[in-house]
Amino acid sequence: MDKKLAQLKTMLAEIVDLGQAAAILGWDQQTYMPPGAAEARGNQQALLSRILQEWSTSPKLGKLLDQLKPYAESLDPDSDDARLIKVTARDFAKATCVPTEFVVEFTKVTSRANQAWVEARQKSDFSIFQPHLEKIVQLRQEYATFFPEVKHPYDALLDDFEPGMKTEEVKAIFNALRPLQVELIKAISARPQVDNTFLHQPFDEKKQWDFGVEVITKFGYDWHRGRQDHAPHPFTSNISIHDVRITTRVDPNFFNPMIFGTMHECGHALYDMGIAPRLDRTGLEGGASLAVHESQSRMWENLVGRSLPFWQHFYPRLQEIFPGQLGNVSLDKFYKGINRVQPSPIRVEADEATYNLHIMLRLEIEIAVIEGKLAVKELPEFWNTKTKEYLGVTPLNDAQGVLQDIHWALGAFGYFSTYALGNLVSAQLWEKINQDIPDLAEQIRAGKFEGLLGWLREKVHDHGRKFQPQELVQRVTGSKINAMPYMHYLQEKFEQIYGRD
C-alpha cells in the first residue's frame, strides 16, 4: 500500500500545482491585469479549469482511492494519511458529479463577470452587471441539480464553502442569533451616541498603508512568503503555504477601511501560512472551511484589532503619525469611535453589533434567487427594501447596495453565511484562548502576539483541511458552532462602551 499511497500523493501534488497556477491568474486579474485582457484571461482560466477537472476526476485517481480505502480504515483515523484519503475521496466524489464542460463554461462566465462587476460598481449601474449575473445564477441553479440527494438546492452551494453544513443548520443558528442582536442594537440606540467624526477627515494614504504594514508585521505576517497590493475589494490569495498574498484598500478621508481591512486579510494569511509544511501539495493544505477561515480574519480584525489593549499599545504610534488629526483625541474617545455602532448599508464597514445582519440579509436573498423566487432584475429594489428592513437604512445607489460585494461576480453563492459563522467561531475560540493564556490582554497591551499566534498555529492552523469545521471547533472548544459566546462578547464590550440602563 505504500506504493499506492505514494502514487496518490504524486497525483495530488500535480493537481495542487495546477490549482495554484490558476490562483496566480485569479490574483493578477483582481490586481494588475488590464481590463482589455478579460476575454483572454477567461480562456486561460477555462483551459486550466478543464485540465484540473479532468485530473481531479480521472479513473486512475478513483481506482487508487478504492484500493486505499481498506488501508485507511486500518490507520489511526486522525493520522495525516487516513485523513488525506478520506478528504480526497470526498473531493473526488463531489467533482465526479460535475461535468467538465460545465466547469469550463462557469470559469469563462465568471471571468467576464468579474470585469463587468468592476465597471458596474465604478459607474453604480447594475444593468452592466445584470446579464452576467443572470448567467451565473442559471449556472448555480444547474450546479445544484448535479447533487440530487441534497434536501435543498442551496445545500450544494453551501457545502462548497462549509463542508457538511446544511442550509437548515445555518438558518437555525441565524434565527436564534437575530433577535438577540436586534435587542442589543435597540439597547445601544437608546444610549447617547459616541463621536467618531475624527475618523472622517484626510489621512495621508501612504502613511495609512505604512501603519498597516507595521501592525501586521507585529502580528507575524511573513513578508518573505507574502506581499500586499491594492484592490477595490480586499482579498487574500493562497497561492501556496509559501506564497500568501493580501490586498487592501485605502480611503483618503476615512481611517477605518485600511486598518481593519488589512488586519482582516492578514488573519486569513496567517492561517494559510501556519498550515503544517508536511501537508503542502497534498490537497490538505487549505483551511478547514470558510467559516473557520473567517474566524481567523475576524479575530485579528475585531477581537484583537478593535480591542482596548491593542490600541493601548498602538495608539501612541498612530498619534505620532497623524498628530494633526489625532493629537488631541484621547485613547478612550478613539477606542469608542472605532467601535461606534451605527447601521450602515456597507457590509465591510459595518460595526460588530450590526455586521451579522448584513450576512443574514444576503443569505435570505441568495436562497430566494437559487429557489427561483427572486429574479436577478429585481435584485436592486429587493436589496434596498431588505436593507431598510434589516438595518433601518437605504443604500444611496447600486454601488452602495447590490453591487458592493464581488462574491456573486465570482459565482460564490453559498459563501456569505461563512462570515457570520466565522464571527461565532472566533468568539468560541477566544474564550478558550483566554482560558489557556490568562495574561493574553497584557501580552496584547505590550504588543506581543507570539503567544496568540502560537496557540492558533497549534490548535487550528496546523491541521489544514484534515477536519471538517464542526469537528474542528468541537475538538478545540468542546462544542459545535453556537451563538452564545459571541453574544456574551458583544454584550460585555458594548455595555462598557455605551453603558447600561
> Which candidate, 161, 117, 160, places its Cα nearest to that of 136?
117
What is the rounded CA–CA span in Å between residue 316 and residue 322? 10
Q: Where would I find the H helices in 437-483?
A: 440-445, 450-459, 469-477
What is the rounded CA–CA span in Å between residue 325 and residue 200? 10
What is the rounded CA–CA span in Å between residue 415 and residue 317? 37
What is the rounded CA–CA span in Å between residue 44 and residue 28? 12
Residues whose CB falls within 8 Å of the CB of residue 259, separated by 6 or more in sequence, listed in order = 208, 211, 212, 215, 305
Q: Residue 216: count other Cβ atoms within 10 Å of its Cβ.
A: 25
Cα separations (Å) of 109 from 102, 140, 144?
A: 10, 11, 17
- Helix 38-56 to helix 80-95 angle (10° resolution) is 120
116 φψ region: left (φ > 0), alpha (ψ -120 to 50), beta (else) = alpha
Residues whose CB falls within 8 Å of the CB of residue 290, separated by 6 or more in sequence, listed in order = 161, 162, 415, 418, 422
The sign of the CA dihedral 307, 310, 311, 312 is positive
> Which candidate, 58, 50, 69, places its Cα nearest to that of 11?
58
Cell of 97: 458529479
Question: Would you say 369 and 386 are in contact if contact means Cβ atoms under 8 Å apart?
Answer: no
First-last CA distance in the chain: 67
Question: Would you say 366 and 170 are in contact if contact means Cβ atoms under 8 Å apart?
Answer: no
Write the DSSP assignment of 143-210 as a string of letters: HHHT-TT-SSHHHHHHHHHSTT--HHHHHHHHHHHHHHHHHHHHHHHTSPPPP-GGGSS---HHHHHH
213 φψ region: left (φ > 0), alpha (ψ -120 to 50), beta (else) = alpha
Cα separations (Å) of 423 from 83, 157, 303, 327, 472?
A: 27, 20, 10, 33, 15
Q: Which of 162, 169, 265, 352 is catalytic?
A: 265
Q: Indicate if 265 belongs to the active site.
A: yes
Identify the bridge partners of residue 251 per DSSP, sorted by sequence position: 254
Which residues does the annotation mark as catalytic?
265
